[in-house]
Amino acid sequence: MKCEFTVIPAVDIRGGRCVRLFQGLPGEETVFSEDPLGAAERWQSEGASYLHVVDLDGAFEGRPVNNELIVEIAGRLSIPVEVGGGIRTAESARSYIDGGVDRVVMGTAAFEDPGMLSDMAGELGERLVVGVDVKDGRVAVAGWTETGVQGPLEAVEMLASAGVRRVIYTDTSKDGTLKGPNLAAIEQIARACRVPLIASGGVGELEDIARVSSMGALGIEGIIVGMALYKRKFTLAEAQLAARERSAG
């Protein structure tokens, strides 16, 4: 299942600002811009073909908080936008789709309400993504503040059986650290996952992107990059070139 590999910049919104968190911890915040829309437009201008937006306030509060700003971002860009954070009802998912967002990313609700998950998978199809965020070997929920009972391999099997078409995997211990992705876990989960997988968390150098993109034959179709781009460890164009060269190889 070879996938075309995409480097996806992230715009995380908290308090109306563009920020990044260390390991998802609310108290470990770095502000990179007071203007999330401007940050989104920057990634588009630098050649992004897709954008990942997170409503961090929504993730912590369990409901969309920055939804008006996110819908504005989706409306202003010509590239598609996916959004996660606080999407725990069918109504909030539909609201984003109706507002012009390309895909919605569910996390907590997908694991707490299997009936709704199946219904949403049937209704939204490719426009629904589920985040498998792993903390201490278990799927994290409630804005990564709690862990559930499922392990990641069990989770991806359940999601595929429910009709979910795409999964984002994040090792929360790596997120925002710049210390490299959990490559072994990414490979293990990709082999177990019956649908396309997007990796996230820990990218710190171009070789990290190259290594993940080399797993495209396992169904990995992209990687989400945040901190490394904001800290200018490399440019988006350099990241895209690293991905293309390793994928081609």
Show which residues are catalytic: 12, 133
What six digits make up the tokens of 145? Answer: 């503040």
φ/ψ of 130, rounded to 5, equals -120, 135
Phi-psi region of 107 (alpha: psi -120 to 50; beta: other; left: phi over 0): alpha
Rg (CA), the chain: 16
What six digits make up the tokens of 217? Answer: 């034959």
What's the burial of 199, exposed, middle or buried (CB within 10 Å: 0-12/13-18/19+)? Answer: buried
What is the distance between the alpha carbons of residues 249 and 245, in angstroms, rounded to a whole number? Answer: 6
Q: Which amino acid is at 183?
A: L
SS3 204: coil
What six digits make up the tokens of 56? Answer: 């961090």
Q: How does DSSP classify residue 138?
A: E
Q: Is the Cα dihedral 9, 174, 155, 118 positive or negative?
A: negative
What six digits make up the tokens of 32? Answer: 């990179």
Q: Could you tell me which of 22, 112, 100 has the C-alpha nearest to residue 62? A: 112
